[in-house]
Structure 1
């Protein structure tokens, strides 16, 4: 029998959900609600995460802008997405919520800015 455990993140209870696999039979135990059960099913079969990183800003008052995906993307795509974003440079000004990249890696998630970055004041040069 193969066993795996995850801690549910949907509420403060933090239920420990255990998956037991024996042949074709899969059993989930330890969930405290239906939402936790559904979350655990997805976490065991297709885990997803929100990607957060920073991108370089050209002519910005600050050098980097924080960005994130607006939806969780498959965990297996995280490193590929980071490599794709690695060489992206945005031009100031940048507004909160600006879409930097639509539908990254065909996941349905957009990469959006999470901070406003004004254009560098040329008198400060």
Structure 2
């Protein structure tokens, strides 16, 4: 049985509008480069995304620090990870690429900071 799906490839700036026919085999139409076919295959089998967000910081020069996953995480776990991050609070000082959460939800990805936040002692 053949199934058909349309998707936009997000790997490069071309943003190819792919027509994907799948079932016993995979046919990808409208891909301007080989990455489109790989993207379509991965998107059907195991869609993943890079996660970016923020977490709270106490006693820091900033009240939030940006974080990201150090590798893509399963798309299906994104909202659950975001719920977990909502309750995370780091104590300043915060280092660049500091691991916030290791192997989040068994994904193999760590959540890391993307900048430093210096400590501010309140008087």
Provide the residue aligned with 1:57 in structure 2: 57
Q: Structure 1 26/38 Cα, relative in aligned 2: closer, same or farther at 3 Å?
A: closer
**Cα distance, 1:13 vs. partner?**
2.3
Write the mapping of 1:107-122 to structure 2, written as runs, cut at 5 A. 107-122=107-122
Contact 1:66 1:114 in 2 (8 A): yes
Provide the residue aligned with 1:32 in structure 2: 32
Contact 1:61 1:121 in 2 (8 A): no
1:42 is the counterpart of 2:57:
no
Q: Structure 1 83/12 Cα, relative in aligned 2: closer, same or farther at 3 Å?
A: closer
1:50 and 1:11 map into 2 onto residues whose CA distance is 14
Provide the residue aligned with 2:68 in structure 1: 68
TM-score (normalised: structure 1)? 0.86
2:56 and 2:69 map into 1 onto residues whose CA distance is 16
Q: Deviations over 1:77-104 (max 9, x none)?
A: 0011111222111110011211111110
1:104 and 1:28 map into 2 onto residues whose CA distance is 33
Q: Size of the alignment, in residue pairs?
A: 122
Provide the residue aligned with 1:8 in structure 2: 9
Ranges in structure 2 where 5+ consecutive residues have no aligned partner: none
Provide the residue aligned with 2:90 in structure 1: 90
In the TM superposition, structure 1's runs of 4+ consecutive aligned residues that sit over 3 Å from their partners are 23-26
**Cα distance, 1:119 vs. partner?**
0.2
Contact 2:26 2:41 in 1 (8 A): no
Instruction: Single out whichever of 60-69 and 8-17 deviates more from structure 2.
Output: 8-17
Provide the residue aligned with 2:19 in structure 1: 18
